[in-house]
Amino acid sequence: MVAATAFVAIGFIAMKITGNASYYANIMLIGLVLGWVGDLFMHIPHPPGNPRMSVVYIGASSFLIGHIFYVWAFVKSTASLVNDYRFFTIPEIIAFVAIFVTFSLILEPVFKFKYKNSFMKITLHLYSVFLIIMLLKCCKFGISYYLSGAQNGLYAMLILSVGGVLFFISDFTLGLRLIGGAKGNKTVKTVSLYSYFFAQLLLATSILFVNI
């Protein structure tokens, strides 16, 4: 909870320091707050007699909605910079297919994902599709912001690109822990936690450099 609170505080302070009340900053702050709510539900003790998973599902749903707000911020901001904006370009489609194929045909068999049922498998694949889209949209916005000639564009591009990659790594390793048979693997747990920490930190910090 301390880290989650710090992420929200960084985003809020960044807005105040720079006077950044932009559309991007506000939507990203909402995403950070939803991440805080998700973290809260993941850590609070479940009420007596209620299953722990009901609390976890609420937390996970809040995280997912927060991810949606991030994507919304990236897409809307990119659309304001690019003429004749298209949600998917040819390079993005190629990158999407390459990442998804790597995940489903190579990494999944190698790490021996263990699905309880077909519904869980379908759900994870759909979630992986969303994560890849988030990664691509985050990187695309960073590059577009830099190419627009905006002040601090280079810093914004680097922060968003690295943050997007770390977010993807965080959620992938989380999948390994939950259903990939790596729940007790300390290395995977460490990578998951640290990549999530720095991903959120970078996305919160991006508000310092992105004003659109």
pLDDT tens profile 47-93: 555 555 566 677 778 888 999 999 999 999 999 998 888 898 899 99
Most confident of 29-43, 140-154, 181-195: 140-154
Q: How far apart are CA 195 and CA 199, in angstroms?
A: 6
Residue 22: pLDDT band with limits 50, 70, 90: very high
pLDDT at residue 175 is higher than 80: no
Q: Cβ of 184: how many Cβ atoms within 10 Å? A: 8
Mean pLDDT in residue range 136-164 = 94
CA distances from 50 to 45, 46, 56, 62, 94 (A): 10, 6, 12, 19, 45
pLDDT at residue 114 is higher than 90: no
Q: How far apart are CA 202 and CA 198, in angstroms?
A: 6
Which three-class secondary structure state does DSSP give residue 106?
A: helix
Q: What is the pLDDT of residue 122?
A: 79
Q: 203 versus 125: which is more confidently predicted?
A: 203
Q: What is the pLDDT of residue 63?
A: 85
Which three-class secondary structure state does DSSP give residue 87?
A: coil
Q: Which residues of 52-80 are buried (b: 16+ CB within 10 A; e: fewer)?
A: eeebeebbeebbeebbebbbbbbbebbee
Q: What is the pLDDT of residue 109?
A: 75
Q: Judge contact between 176 and 182, C-beta under 8 A.
A: yes
* Mean pLDDT (the chain, rounded): 86
Q: What is the pLDDT of residue 128?
A: 83
Q: What is the pLDDT of residue 110?
A: 72
Q: What is the pLDDT of residue 180?
A: 61
CA distances from 99 to 14, 128, 200 (A): 33, 10, 22
Residue 45: pLDDT band with limits 50, 70, 90: low
Mean pLDDT in residue range 114-141 = 84
Q: What is the pLDDT of residue 162?
A: 96
